[in-house]
Each structure stands twice: as structure tokens, then as C-alpha cells.
Chain A
Amino acid sequence: MGLFILKRVGIMLLTALCLTFLVFFLTNLYPNLEKLAKTQGNFRMSDEQVASYLEKNGYLQPTPVKYGEWLGVLPSYRHTNEDGSVLGRCILPGTTAEESPNFCGILQGYWGYSSVFKEEVSTVVGTRLALTGRLMFWVMLLMVPSALILGILAGMREGSATDRTLSTIAITTTATPEYVSGVIFIAIFTSSAVGLKWFKGTATQAMENPTFENFFLPVLTIALYGMGYIARMTRASMTEVMTAQYIRTARLKGVAFPNIVMKHALRNALIAPFTVIMLQFPWLLNGVVIVETLFNYKGFGWALVQAAGNNDIQLLLAISVVSVFVVLVTQLISDIGYVYLNPRIRIS
């Protein structure tokens, strides 16, 4: 087991390296750098001015060198101005070139400086991630129990009326992407045209003061899309368990149906949904980006949109590291959890 986890962590690191290099490569293509220079300087810069700006900030080195600097395995670039002052990635405002270190990458714990938010990337990611974490917590709290209940009720008696209706509901929710259900919810529950006005159409206030009124709709919108999928998986797993031999034995023995479901079937039926729920995290990340844009909730997804729209290289890299980390860790947890839950599987 220890070896398995070690191997998985190794693959994880390799994947993260490959992906961050990919992001690095795409964000450092010349037209993107030109856009960055123009948003940082001004939009009427001439080609020479753009080139000199990029030169000064060390963007014109070869991509692997820049990547090495970002990682912290190569000494970072320094540019000496005509008046003798020194510019560099490691030299923060207020410090001199002599006292600042030569290496400053993520290995040294320095994530860079966000050009959009004018803050250190680590603070931006930290605050935004905390906001999104709150959103995700409530989404999970709403989505997982309701999906499991839906799936178990549907899978309990395959082909029954309950099954048909609940399956149709599950299919409908998987067919409704967040930007459709969100728009429909906003239209019905918040607009003055329908006039119900039960909830708020934006979740901006929920960042400081989350209430049911301003926070329920975004949570519901994300939860609905994921819920259908988990419910269908739970239903499939439940129907499979309900046809197993030992359930038939229990029925023949005369155990009451509720008892069979609760005591015999449920535990085995929940193994497969566990993996699905874990693997659902990357999908939720997508939903988070859409919903945070739709409801103007300034969390992690919103920061992603801002960073990508303005080619904020450092922030984009940090965001992709975080999201890749989330994806890979959930994959690892789902694998390990699967082994623990299902005694028939052994890892050699």
C-alpha cells in the first residue's frame, strides 16, 4: 500500500510538472506576452516599446529557462537599467538587489506577483480559495445526500414507478448545464418580471455575509448538475446489488424489505458512488467557474476568468497548480478509499 501511494504521488508530480509546463508554454507565446505588455503599459505601445518592456522583465528568455526560474531551480533574471538600478522577479518593491535572494520560485515558496490584482499570488489564491471552499462545502452538503437518496430510492425496485420518475428527474438535471439552470432560476426566483423575488440574483453580498437568500441559488445551481450523475451511478450500483444472491437469500429468509435495503444492500451499494463523488470534484470546478461568473461571486473561478482574460501568467499558473492538485488528490483518495471499502480488491 505504501509503495502504491508513493508511486501515485510520483505520477502526480510528473503530471503536475507536465501540465504547468503546458500552461507556461501557452501563456508565454509571443502574442500573449504582447497582450500582457500592453495591458501593463498602455495599449498604444509600439512594437519596439513592447519588446523593450518584455526584455526588461525577462520575458524574452527561452521558455525552459523561464520555467526553471518559476520553479526555483534556476537563478532568476535581473535587468540593470541605464541609471544603475536593478529590476528582477525576486526583488520586491522596497528591497534592494543585494538583500533579495537569487532563487525565487515555488520551491522557495514564492508564487509570484499577480498583475491583475496587484497583490502577491499566494494571498489572492488563498482568499479566493476560502470563498470557493465555502461554496463547495454547501454544494457537497446539498448534493451528496440528495443524490444518494434519489439513487437508492430509484434503484431499490428497478422498473417501478418511483424508478422511472426519479430516473427521468436525474436525466433532466444532467442535461441542464449550470448556465442554463442558473439563468432559469434567476428568471423565476429573482426577476421583477415574474415577481416571486424569493432570492437574490447576485451572490456578491454572500462573500461577507452569506444568508439563505443570497447563497442558496448558486449552491443549488452547481449541486443540480452534479446530482443527476451521482444519482444515476448510485441507482446502477443499487440495482446491481439488489439482484445479488445474498439479497435473494435475505428475501427468502423473510427479512422485511426496508431492512434488506438499509442493512444488507446499502453498504455495498455505496462503494461505487464514493468513487464517483470523489471524481466529481474536477467537474464541480467547472461549475464553480460558471456559477461564480453568473452570480458574481468573487471566488476561485472568478479569479480564473480574470487571470485568463488578462493573461496574468503567475496567477494562472498558481490556479492551474491548485486545480490539478485538487483533481489528482481526489483521484488518489478515490483509489485508496475504494480499496478500503471493497475488501475484494487488493493492491499488489
Chain B
Amino acid sequence: MEPLTWTGSIAFLNPLLMISLAAMLISIVVWILGSIVLPEAPLSINVDGTLNANAGLRGLTQSALRYSFMASVAVTLAYLVLGILMGTSAGIIGAISRQFLPVWLSLIILFAMSIAFKRRLGLYGKLFDSPIGMIGFGLVMFWVFTGIFGAMDLIITHDPLSQLSGMKNKVPGTPVPSTDEGQYAWYLLGGDNLARDVFSRMVRGAWEVVKIAPFATIFAFMVGITLGLPAGYYGGRLDTFLSFLANLILAFPVILLFYLLVTPEIVATGVPNYMAAVLFVFPIIFLAVLLNSRFYTRPNFRTPLLIGVLGVALWFYLSMISTGGYIIETETYRIWGLPTYLDLFNIPGGILVVFVSVVFVNSPTVFRIVRGLALDIKTRDYVAAAQTRGEGPWYIMLWEILPNARGPLIVDFCLRIGYTTILLGTLGFFGLGLPPESPDWGSTINEGRKLLSIYLHPALPPALALLSLVLGLNLLADGLREESLKD
């Protein structure tokens, strides 16, 4: 097998890409300079009272930017489309874009559906009015789909954990020495220092993030909301106490906390299990109070609903915190949990401690945000109206204040998933928690950096992947903020 070059037979696109990128860069600079130097476009008033705005020189710089941007996008698309069609004959880029085919298809379907029905989709639909938001959403969904399909073994070319002899630190596009039947013939992004496929590890790393970050953020929000709403609404002693606790955790340097919490020794003492048992209760409390405060006037409906929802929630809770029949199992003592035949899933101790500490680090910030919003919103008229109607405090908090605080909370949710991704990367970078051969991005960057002065390819793909995912989440949050402010 021949080694692959980067672009293969579509190399004729390279000069085109160079030209369009250069044109875009130049036009950005001109655009910025123009916005400072050039006069604003003059308005002329017509006889019938309408206004005419001349495009002028400013308009010219703007359209130059637009066209050069479109040209760059078109060339990039050409790379991808030709790559999908030609596969490995279009070089590494072609091969990679063909491997990502399921992701492209899902993205196209998702965007087509969303844009077609955007007027009926509320805030989510409005996202597709803002180019920044769309770019962010596209980046995020790219990695989400990559994570999901990668976990289903669709995109990856080799097993991310297996080592092939002779592939140590090989450059991108190196053919695999002995091709067995059905094995992919190249290491698309090269091999790392243990002769594993960098491309497959990067793809599988997306799954590590996708499976932990959103859930950890949701749990942090549940904890923060359940504690922040009463702190802001009631104020007083409760507020002082909870704020003190939140500030206590916030005053702790995150990395020190991780170094203290996420170690095998701490896992052995069962501390993470206690923390999980406490932190995971909050979603149940949240659900119970949420439903009860709404439906307590209709006991016939409320009681079966609560029994059903809480039953399922408790079952999940117990399966989450108990492993192998025990909630806590140390050498000296153990606490009984859910029996094994009822246990839905087991979370390995390493993942659990990562999850718990990420939730623990994030929830005080969410608490502060929710508390601030509650303090602000509780002075509004509709809250006063609900109080006059005789609604209970929890109804007011959860059904009057919370829905009206959703805008900032959704924006912060996106930013916080990004921050959680960074935290997970930090954990991996210091080799904490996750197993050493785990393909998550932080660990891969850490392994790759040791040989960075000679081999770039093991460290750069996960670094760029993490960068683009977090950037996507930030842009998405920015787009959402802009659109929710337009209301």
C-alpha cells in the first residue's frame, strides 16, 4: 500500500483554497479598517418620505468579505464532497471525510428539518436566524454525532486501544504493514507513541466528552436550582448559610480539589460514593417538589403521578449509586444497596469520581446565578400576583420564577458544558480519574505533548477537537443570548 498524501488527486483545489483564504483575510482587514476610516453611508430622503441608503465604499468592503467568505466555504465543501465521492484516492482529507459520512448526513438532515420548521420551534428555531449561532450549533452537533456514531463503531478505522507493531509515531497517512481481511489499510492521522491510531482515538474521545459533560452539567444545574431558588426567594439565614458554603467551594482552586478528590485512594475510601449519594438526590427532590407544587390541589391525579415518577427516579438513583449490590464497599465495611438483579447499570468508580467532582465544582456557580436571578425576579408584579392568589412558595419559585429565568440559564448551560469539557480535559491532562489508556482528549494531549518537539500529529488532533467543541458551545451560547434578547 502506498502512503497517503494529504489531498491526493484533489490537490488542484489547494491553490484555490489558498487564494480564497487570502482574499478573505485581506477583506476582513479592509472591512475593519474601513469601518474606522470610511464615513458612514449617507442616507437620502425621497420625495415620498422613504429613505434610501447608498451602499458606498463600506458596502463594497462588506460584499467583498461576503463573497470571499462564500468562496472559502465553497472550496472547503468541494474538498469534503469530492472526498466523500473519491474516498482514499482524495488523500487523507478525502478518507477522513468519507469516514465522517454518517455525521455529514445527520447534520444535513438536522439542519434541513430545523430550518424548514424554524418558525414553530421557539428559541431553538430562532437560533437559525443568527449566523454565529448556526456555526456554533453546527460545530457542537458535529462532535455530538461523532461521539454517538464513534461509540457505535461507525467512524473509527481501528480499535482505539489496540497497538499495531511498526506503527509507533508514524506520520499521517502511513499504511498499516500487514493488512488482515477487513482491516482499514492506513493510519489516517498517524500513530501515537504506543502505535495506536490517532484518528480513532480522537473520534472515540468525543464520546468520552458527550457521555459525561451534558449529564454532569444537568446534575450541577439541578443542585444549583434546588438550592439557589429558596436561597434567593427566602433570603435570611438560609441564604447566608448556603452562600457561605458556595463561596467555600468557590474559594478552593479547582485543580487542588481534583488532586485531592480524584485519586484511587479516595475512591477506595468510598468518599465519592457518599458524595454521589448526596448530589444525586437533588434531581429527585427537584422533580418531587416541581410536580407536587403544581398538582397538590388535585390529589387524585397527583398521587399516582408522583408515585410513578418518583418510583422510576428512585430506581435510577439506586442503580446509579449502587455497584454490585452495595452502595459503599470498602475493605472494612459496606452498605447494602440495590440487589444486582435490579441494578440497571453500573458506573465504574473512576468515572463516578470524575462525574461527582465535576458536578461538585460546577454547582456553586450555578447556585450563585440562580440565586441572583431569583433575587431579581421575586420583586416582579407577577410574583406579587401569585402571592396574592395564595400560591405556595415552591409553586412561585418553580412555576413563576424559574420559567422567567430560563433565558440566562439556557445561555449559561451552553457555556457550562464547554467549561465542563475543559475540566474533563484538565483531569485527563493530569492523568486523574480516567483509566490511563482511555482515549479522552485530555489524556491524549498529555501523552502527545511529551514528544511534541519531534512529532506533532499525536497531540494536535485532540487539541483542535477540544478547541472546536468548546468554541462551538461558546458561539452557540452567544447566538442564543443574542436571539433571546431580541424578544
Asked if B255 is an interface residue, CB under 8 A from chain A, the answer is yes
User: Within A293-348, which residues are at the interface with B (CB < 8 Å)?
Assistant: 293-294, 301, 304-305, 308-309, 311, 316, 319-320, 323-324, 327-328, 331
Q: Do A176 and B251 touch (CB < 8 A)?
A: no
- With an 8 A cutoff between CB atoms, is B123 at the interface? no
Verify if B430 is at the interface (C-beta below 8 Å from A). Answer: yes
Number of interface residues of A (CB under 8 A): 60
Does chain B have a CB within 8 A of A201? yes
Given contacts A29-B269, A183-B448, A289-B255, contact A161 B453 (CB under 8 A): no
Rounded to whole Å, the gap between the CB of B303 and the closest CB of chain A is 42
Q: Indicate whether B344 reaches chain A with its CB closer than 8 angstroms.
A: no
A309 to B474, CA, bound (A): 33
A176-B467, A183-B445 in contact; A305/B430 too (CB < 8 A)? yes
Q: What residues on A are CB-neighbors of B471 within 8 Å?
A: 171-172, 175-176
A201–B451 Cα distance when bound, in Å, is 11
A161-B460 contact in complex given A19-B248, A177-B466, C-beta closer than 8 Å: no
Query: Counting chain B CB atoms within 10 Å of each CB, which of A34, A192, A289, A331 scores highest?
Result: A289
Q: Is the CB of B269 within 8 A of A31?
A: yes
Residues of B within 8 A of A301 (CB): 255
Is A198 on the interface with B (CB-CB < 8 A)? no
The complex places the Cα of A174 from the Cα of B34 at a distance, in Å, of: 27
The verdict on B478 contacting chain A, using a C-beta distance below 8 Å, is yes
Docked pose: A324 CA to B254 CA in angstroms:
11
B34 close to A184 (CB less than 8 A): no
B104 within 8 A of A: no
Task: Select one of A19, A175, A305 contacting B259, CB under 8 A.
Answer: A305
In the complex, which residue of chain A has the Cβ closest to the Cβ of B441? A180
Residues of A within 8 A of B32 (CB): 161-162, 165
Which of B111-119, B156-164, B304-312, B418-426 contacts its partner? B418-426
A286 within 8 A of B: yes
- Among A165, A175, A186, the one with the most B-chain Cβ atoms within 10 Å of its Cβ is A175
Given the known interface contacts A29-B269, A179-B442, A324-B251, the answer about A11 and B244 at a Cβ–Cβ threshold of 8 Å is: yes
A57 interface hit (Cβ, 8 Å):
no
Contacts of B276 in A (CB 8 A): none
Contact string, B465-487, partner A, CB cutoff 8 A, digits 1/0? 01100110111001000000000
CB closest residue in chain B, given A177: B422
**Residues of A close to B252: CB separation below 8 A:** 19, 22, 320, 324
Residues of B within 8 A of A293 (CB): 430
Which of B28, B244, B425, B474 is in CB contact (< 8 Å) with A179? B425
When chains A and B are docked, how far (Å) is the Cα of A305 from the Cα of B260?
11
Contact of A319 among B256, B265, B473 (CB under 8 A): B256
Give chain A residues whose Cβ lies under 8 Å from the Cβ of B42: none
Q: How far is the CA of A171 from the CA of B254 in the complex (A)?
A: 22
Q: Given A179-B426, A186-B449 in contact, is the A15-B35 Cβ separation under 8 Å?
A: no
Q: Within the complex, what minimum Cβ distance (angstroms) separates A148 from chain B?
A: 18
Q: With a CB–CB cut-off of 8 A, which chain A residues contact B34?
A: 161
Contact of A29 among B254, B266, B478 (CB under 8 A): B266
Tell me which residues across on chain A come within 8 A of B448, comparing CB atoms.
183
Shortest Cβ distance from residue B332 to the other chain A in the assembled complex, whole angstroms: 9
* Complexed CA–CA distance, A157 and B269 (Å): 57
User: What residues of A have a CB within 8 angstroms of the CB of B248 in the complex?
Assistant: 15, 18-19
A237 at the interface (CB under 8 A from B): no
Given the complex of chains A and B, what is the CA–CA distance between A95 and B36 in angstroms?
Answer: 73
Task: Give the docked Cα–Cα distance between A53 and B374 (Å).
Answer: 54
User: Once the chains bind, are B449 and A294 in contact (CB under 8 Å)?
Assistant: yes
A184-B445 in contact given A35-B265, A161-B32, A323-B253 (Cβ < 8 Å):
no
Instruction: Chain B residues near A26: list those with CB within 8 A.
Output: 260-261, 266, 271
The answer to whether the Cβ of B459 comes within 8 Å of any Cβ in the partner chain is yes
* A165: nearest chain-B partner, CB-CB: B32
7 A-B pairs within 8 Å (CB atoms) are namely A26-B261, A161-B31, A171-B474, A179-B463, A290-B426, A320-B252, A327-B251
Residues in A lying within 8 Å of B, measured CB to CB: 11, 14-15, 18-19, 22-23, 26-27, 29-32, 34-35, 157, 160-162, 165, 167, 171-172, 174-177, 179-180, 183-184, 186-187, 190-194, 201, 282, 285-286, 289-290, 293-294, 301, 304-305, 308-309, 311, 316, 319-320, 323-324, 327-328, 331
Q: Hey, which bits of chain B sit against chain A, CB under 8 A? A: 28, 31-32, 34-36, 244, 247-248, 250-256, 259-261, 263-266, 268-269, 271, 418, 422, 425-426, 429-430, 442, 445-446, 448-449, 452-456, 459-460, 463-464, 466-467, 470-471, 473-475, 478
